[in-house]
Amino acid sequence: MSFGAYLQSIGHSAKTIVAGMALTFRYLVRPKEIVTIQYGSKTNAPKERYIPDRHRGIHILETEKCIHCHICERACPVDCIEMDGTREAPFDGAWKGDGCWISSFTLDLNKCIFCNLCCEPCPKECIHMGMEFDAAAYTRAHGVKNLLTDAPQSEADRAREAEARTLIEAAEAESKRRKAAAKAAAAPAAPATPAAPGAAVPKPPAPPAAPAAPGMPKPPGAGMPPPPAPPKPAAGPAMPPPPSMPKPPTMPKPPSN
């Protein structure tokens, strides 16, 4: 590198430093022109929404549209969604959905990969990726979000869900009992099954013989045991086997010449 090129590079470096420091001092005296948002800042945050529409943030649930089908729970590749409820009967402390009653709907943000696979197959489109991106917490327990209350899951929520599980089992058992009773009451008497074509029809039993009138003589042979069966003929003597035929005599070989 020549000496002139060396001095030119020093001048270019000094010029860039001066330009950067000038922009810094400009924002120092004019803070409203700052584009970068400091994390957690409430005073300098922009007034208008600056998150794009396709942003995959923390989930939002429309509880009143949920049908408790568990499709989002089964579609999650990391098993971070858990839900519980029933579609049989209401119970105390439940959130009302579309034909169902929900006791818990949690999402573990510590495991979520924000893939949107839980939202796409939802038949009611009731779960969405929101605009909120701040998932910071002091403990991992605060990373489990209760989508029913839109807040981190608390110990009170866990206690209520355990109590609701007992109420759900009782409501489902009572619903099954009522359905079985209604089905048994509505079922008609089963008709007799007709005989298959060609099957032998059983003969009706013979009527009992009328008793003989008193003073009347009995017919001959009445009351006597049946005659014995005739004896089988004795087998004759065994026939001797036929005589064997004698072998023909062996002919002598002719003399060789």
Q: pLDDT grade, residue 95 (50/70/90)?
A: very high
Domain annotation covers residue 98: yes
Q: Which of 71-80, 84-93, 101-110, 210-219 has the lowest mean pLDDT?
A: 210-219
229 vs 172: which has the higher pLDDT: 172
3-state secondary structure of 25: helix
Please tell me the pTM assigned to this model: 0.56
Query: For all residues of the chain together, what is the average pLDDT?
Result: 81
Residue % of the chain over a pLDDT of 70: 68
Domain annotation covers residue 254: no
Q: pLDDT grade, residue 10 (50/70/90)?
A: very high
- The Cβ of residue 97 has, within 10 Å, a number of other Cβ atoms equal to 22
Would you say residue 214 has pLDDT above 60?
no
CATH number for 72: 3.30.70.3270
CA triplet 110, 115, 118: central angle to 5 degrees? Answer: 90
Q: Is the dihedral of CA 180, 183, 184, 190 positive or negative?
A: negative
- As for how many domains the chain has, the answer is 1
Average pLDDT over residues 185-195: 66
Q: Domain range spanning residue 144?
A: 59-169
Residue % of the chain over a pLDDT of 90: 39
- In this structure, are residues 62 and 126 in contact, taking their beta carbons and an 8 Å threshold? yes
Domain annotation covers residue 142: yes
Would you say residue 235 has pLDDT above 70?
no
Give residue 98's pLDDT. 93
Would you say residue 160 has pLDDT above 70?
yes
Q: Give residues with Cβ within 8 angstroms of 69, minimum separation 6.
A: 123
Domain annotation covers residue 186: no
Domain annotation covers residue 217: no
Average pLDDT over residues 2-18: 91
CA distances from 200 to 1, 195, 196, 197, 205 (A): 117, 9, 9, 9, 15
Contacts by 229-234, CB closer than 8 A, 24 or more apart: none
Would you say residue 58 has pLDDT above 90?
yes
Average pLDDT over residues 45-73: 87
What counts of helices (H) and strands (E) characterise the chain? 3, 7
Give residue 248's pLDDT. 64
Q: pLDDT grade, residue 204 (50/70/90)?
A: low
Taking the C-alpha atoms of residue 72 and residue 131, their distance in angstroms, rounded to an integer, is 19
Domain annotation covers residue 102: yes
Would you say residue 212 has pLDDT above 60?
no
Give residue 66's pLDDT. 95
Taking the C-alpha atoms of residue 84 and residue 105, their distance in angstroms, rounded to an integer, is 7
Average pLDDT over residues 212-239: 59
160 vs 215: which has the higher pLDDT: 160
pLDDT in tens, 140-150: 889 999 999 99
Give residue 239's pLDDT. 66
- In this structure, are residues 93 and 102 in contact, taking their beta carbons and an 8 Å threshold? no
Domain annotation covers residue 8: no
Taking the C-alpha atoms of residue 224 and residue 220, their distance in angstroms, rounded to an integer, is 9
Would you say residue 78 has pLDDT above 60?
yes
Taking the C-alpha atoms of residue 167 and residue 93, their distance in angstroms, rounded to an integer, is 10
Domain annotation covers residue 216: no
Cross-strand pairs, 128: 60
Which of 220, 196, 222 has the alpha carbon at shortest distance from 209? 222
Q: pLDDT grade, residue 43 (50/70/90)?
A: low
